[in-house]
Structure 1
């Protein structure tokens, strides 16, 4: 991890004002901050610090401890599991480590802004297949609403301006 990443991670963990703004500003200008590997629960995950939830992962990549405990309780070695709305692949990687070589993870992510990161993440895991689409009860296309904070993307425009300007992407659906 570079000195800049160590600084940003430590600064974000302090909770001091401005840490998220600084990280967002730097990541919009430095491509090295758009492809950062963090050691999440289960293994490495690639994140893009321009996306708000990535900044939290930089500060604390193992912060989903409650969810991780539930997964460890209900998922077993050799299971086949699904990560629907896989985002960066944090849960995909955790589930991959739980199911092991005899199991498999099917990850689904329709948001084009998330794909470069999750493609690199799942590329390290032979037991994860990534599907670049949304899931529905019917096949076709649907509009994906993507606010400035891409982590808030949805098939419904629910943000009411909270996440900044919203643009749309056509998204392939599969059943």
Structure 2
């Protein structure tokens, strides 16, 4: 009841919030009706009103292990109804982070027109492939995607989606963590597959850890050497590494220092970075001749994305310490 009251109060106090919320949910309903999906529709209604999704709760209770294929962003994704997190979310809604994804898609289209040769993508923290498949679809046979993901559950689903779409010539996937050194790291497996992360003492644990595994870790520089890719040929870096982004950026100096057209799209987890690390990360990006294209935030309690009116690294420096934001950067 408190959630319903909060949403109503938010709509009354700031009516401008209503339109993007309506637009976001209209797209979801249109998908459900087009596909004749009654379960997700009912789940969306209970989730929107009560913050309790009857459909995903039912899937978890049923424990269905039969994989499902859904068309998402122009590609077919193989999804696991029993896997909490992104897999269930995509099965439920048919999309996620749609504002951020649309901005990123526009940047990919722009790059495809600007770059005459192959558009090479580093997909770091690829998870089950939501963005890797989007990249493969948009770039077509002009794209080469090097995807890195340490969680074996995610790699398995991503590999199935690659095979299902016939993207084997566009996407290479490797089960590895990406960081600022080569070696072995402890990786925390969480029930929510998109929350799994490299284990760190400073990491604030807000979700239960299911188990821990040892995984290989490599820097971007090492991975490029192994794949015989020159740093100056990298045009896209897309990452979501749950607070490990500073380590990833420290391991790719040659990519950041080169002068090729470059798009970087990443989730900035401010709450998981101490002040020194956070400032150093922003300094590194600012010194790499990158400009801010967009910064998006998840707005609650209405739960939809908004684009913030931020266009400088000083704006990012002032972000709330408890927040995570999506950031799209560009070097022309």
TM range (shorter): 0.7 to 0.9
1:92-111 map, 5 Å = 92-111=132-151
> Any unmatched runs of 5+ in structure 2?
1-35, 113-117, 220-332
Q: Which residue of 2 aligns with 1:31?
A: 65
1:26-175 map, 5 Å = 26=62, 28=63, 30-32=64-66, 35-49=67-81, 50-75=83-108, 76-77=111-112, 78-123=118-163, 124=165, 125=167, 126-156=169-199, 158=203, 160=205, 162-175=206-219
RCO (CA 8 Å, sep 6+): is it higher in 1 or 2? Answer: 1
- Given that 2:190 and 2:209 are in contact with CA atoms closer than 8 Å, whether structure 1 keeps it comes out as yes
Give the whole-Å Cα distance in 1 for the aligned partners of 2:38 and 2:59.
10
- Given that 2:189 and 2:210 are in contact with CA atoms closer than 8 Å, whether structure 1 keeps it comes out as yes
**1:82 deviation in Å?**
1.6
Q: Report the structure number with the largest CA radius of gyration.
A: 2
Please state whether the residue corresponding to 1:62 is helix, strand or coil: coil
**1:165 deviation in Å?**
4.0
Structure 1 position 13 matched with structure 2 position 56? no
**1:116 deviation in Å?**
1.6
Matched pairs, number = 166
TM (normalized to structure 2)?
A: 0.46
Give the whole-Å Cα distance in 2 for the aligned partners of 1:151 and 1:54.
9
> Any unmatched runs of 5+ in structure 1?
none
Are the structure 2 counterparts of residues 165 and 102 from structure 1 closer, same or farther at C-alpha, using a change threshold of 3 Å? closer
Give the whole-Å Cα distance in 2 for the aligned partners of 1:84 and 1:21.
30
Give the whole-Å Cα distance in 2 for the aligned partners of 1:121 and 1:58.
14
Give the whole-Å Cα distance in 1 for the aligned partners of 2:87 and 2:217.
26
Are the structure 2 counterparts of residues 165 and 81 from structure 1 closer, same or farther at C-alpha, using a change threshold of 3 Å? closer
Give the whole-Å Cα distance in 2 for the aligned partners of 1:81 and 1:71.
13
Give the whole-Å Cα distance in 2 for the aligned partners of 1:85 and 1:112.
12
TM (normalized to structure 1)?
A: 0.83
**1:67 deviation in Å?**
2.1
Give the whole-Å Cα distance in 1 for the aligned partners of 2:39 and 2:170.
32
Please state whether the residue corresponding to 1:148 is helix, strand or coil: coil
